[in-house]
Amino acid sequence: SAVISQKPSRDICQRGTSLTIQCQVDSQVTMMFWYRQQPGQSLTLIATANQGSEATYESGFVIDKFPISRPNLTFSTLTVSNMSPEDSSIYLCSVEDWGNEQFFGPGTRLTVL
Amino acid sequence: QQPVQSPQAVILREGEDAVINCSSSKALYSVHWYRQKHGEAPVFLMILLKGGEQKGHEKISASFNEKKQQSSLYLTASQLSYSGTYFCGTVTTQGGSEKLVFGKGTKLTVNP
């Protein structure tokens, strides 16, 4: 199984600012995913990031608000732009291995004041 | 479309059994099961593919009935370590691509 790290693990940000979350995988993977999980809730897919192509966003999420980069097969970033308190959540990246299993990073806990 | 999980929560004593159900209104390609402990990332348990196969992981097993578009997770002789929230994820195709959609979760508490 892939080992995934995320930075930062948590942050407290001011309204109107942006935060970039990094996701690093210890092996090359084709598909990486970004999820949001609000406290006590389920996981909601934000977008799918494939290397070499534009990220695919789910309904309710737009590139201007959540720009994603995928420069290579082991790394991706998600930026939460122009933050508001409603963006307070846990953001997780995940990767899919050859068996279609998804493995999650430890998550980034974001609080927006 | 989000799969429906039941029950929402269950409390067990160590050694008891439990069943968690996951159903979808859409045709399913596969069903994934994850367990998430408080403050941690979800951990993959198993994946079930079309064909009605049953899989196992320690004393946790699952079945997938594609005709009924549902899956069940069976926890046998539960241990304290089984406590957590269990999510099923269903794979459907949308716009030519597959995506994993998670249910709302079932919170399992195992007491001594």
| Residue A29 scores a pLDDT above 70 | yes
Side chain identity, residue B97:
S
Euclidean distance between CA atoms B7 and A108, whole angstroms: 29
Average pLDDT, chain B: 88
Lowest mean pLDDT among A10-19, A24-33, B11-20, B89-98: B89-98
Percent of chain B with pLDDT strictly greater than 90: 60
**What does the DSSP assignment read for A64-102?**
TTS-EEEEETTEEEEEE-S--GGG-EEEEEEEE-TTS-E
Q: Is the pLDDT of residue B54 over 70?
A: no
Q: Residues of A near B (CB-CB distance < 8 A)?
A: 1, 33, 41-45, 48, 56, 58, 92, 99-107
The DSSP bridge partners found for residue B73 are B20, B62
| Nearest by Cα to A104 from A31, A4, A10, A18 | A4
**Whether the predicted pLDDT of B57 surpasses 70:** no
Q: Which of B1, B34, B100 to mutate to test the interface with A (most CBs of A within 10 A)?
A: B100
A50 or B103, higher pLDDT: B103
Q: Is the pLDDT of residue A51 over 70?
A: yes
